[in-house]
Chains A and B, each alone.
Chain A
């Protein structure tokens, strides 16, 4: 986020940085009145921004429950309710606006369900690894017997660390009854990641000594997307 901020500053952009860590000191006022049209104003420490005046927004969501003012507070604490109300109003305003938003909440929400996202990816014409979700020990056992080199990972975006299924895991298959678990054919080799912004593609080649490159020794090089 700080790199984006620095680049925007350097380019001379008229910029308003809404610091998520100041969410407990922030306020968002929404007024709909047939005569006055629709207004939404964000205020932080006495500085106000009319959201009708913005033409682009870059959003990085964080969890306000991780901030120190929330320590020991319940999720229904008035401070938490105000913070989640702030986030809700800001996001729904941006979702409904004509502004350029990177990214709106609906397409971004696909990150929260890997199978949902895989299905979209597959329908878009990409090959996707064989993927199986189950909460039945016998079905999982059967799947693992028929398929070798399988990894497991979370279905959502939470605790999303990839592990290879080994003999050691077979003793814990009973546990899938408590929570559906995602198994996937392991694809060995080099990782490529491509980031698309408007009509530009930024691609990187990733080599790592770890199955999940985010948690190992990794080299990342920029490559030309073709």
Chain B
């Protein structure tokens, strides 16, 4: 079974689930968690844990893949919990799910960390140093309290994105240089999925503006590549 972790507002998540053979994939959301997921997890002996997903008993070893489209659950998603308790339930669910996903020994499109469900969620300050070691040019940025103060990006001629899933660049291939930069970052960060965003100042000069390890499954080509990754 393949788990797709998302939220009910993301229509593309159900579309992605439906692209797998019937019964092979299941959508897990905070808003429907208490209907979808039941389980007893032995922390000292995880493989013996018992879970049912959509009323089907599954052993944890039968979970063959995880696709996460969110970094964590949010209190407002737990609409069925008393308002005063939502923040607590959300913290508990996040704590449980980070552990649960980390223990699964299957293919994960964005392996969880202690901080998020969805891989190495990095900010500019963190990835810029890695990009520099790989000789990837980075677009300038100026922020105050993490908010951009100058719109440096308005000086760019054009923008490009590149997504790599496994070894496959999805959709229409951008310039070879962009593909090379994206692959080298993906390899350095050891992430099966990575999207990189670039700005072009003058023709053929590409500068990295952002990276993202949470898959954008609203793009059909990404969904197809994800399904292929697990087949």
Q: How far does the Cβ of B46 sit from chain A's closest Cβ, in whole Å?
A: 8
Contacts across chains A and B counted by CB atoms under 8 Å = 167
Q: Which residues of B contact A89 (CB under 8 A)?
A: 123, 125, 143, 145-146
B203 interface hit (Cβ, 8 Å): no
A139 nearest CB neighbor, chain B only: B40
A124 interface residue (CB < 8 Å to B): no
Chain A's closest residue to B146 (CB) is: A85
- Is A29's CB under 8 angstroms from B144's CB? yes
Choose from B93, B102, B114, B115 the contact partner of A180 (Cβ within 8 Å). B93
The answer to whether A116 and B138 touch across the interface, beta carbons within 8 angstroms, is: no
Least distance between A89 CB and chain B CB atoms (Å) = 5
The segment out of A9-17, A129-137, A187-195, A207-215 that lies at the interface is A129-137
Report the contact-size class of chain B (Cβ under 8 Å from the partner).
35 or more
In the complex, which of the residues A82, A95, A158, A178 contacts B91, with contact meaning CB atoms closer than 8 Å? A158
B115 touching A109, Cβ below 8 Å: yes
On whether the beta carbons of B141 and A155 are closer than 8 Å, the reply is no
Q: Does the CB pair A95–B43 fall under 8 Å?
A: no
Q: How many chain A residues touch B (Cβ–Cβ < 8 Å)?
A: 56
Stretch at the interface among A33-41, A162-170, A196-204, A217-225: A33-41
Chain B interface helix/strand/loop/mixed? mixed
A86 within 8 A of B: yes
Do B141 and A95 touch across chains, with their CB atoms under 8 A apart? no
Measured between alpha carbons, how far is A166 from B162 in the docked complex, in Å? 56
Contact with A along B3-44 (1 / 0, CB 8 A): 000000000000000000000000000000010011111111
Would you list the 10 A-B pairs with minimal beta carbon distance, nearest first? A85-B146, A139-B40, A156-B95, A85-B145, A131-B43, A115-B99, A113-B95, A109-B114, A156-B91, A134-B40
Q: Which B residues are closer than 8 A to A by beta carbons? A: 34, 37-44, 46, 50, 80-81, 87-89, 91-96, 98-99, 102-103, 113-115, 122-126, 128-129, 137-138, 140-147
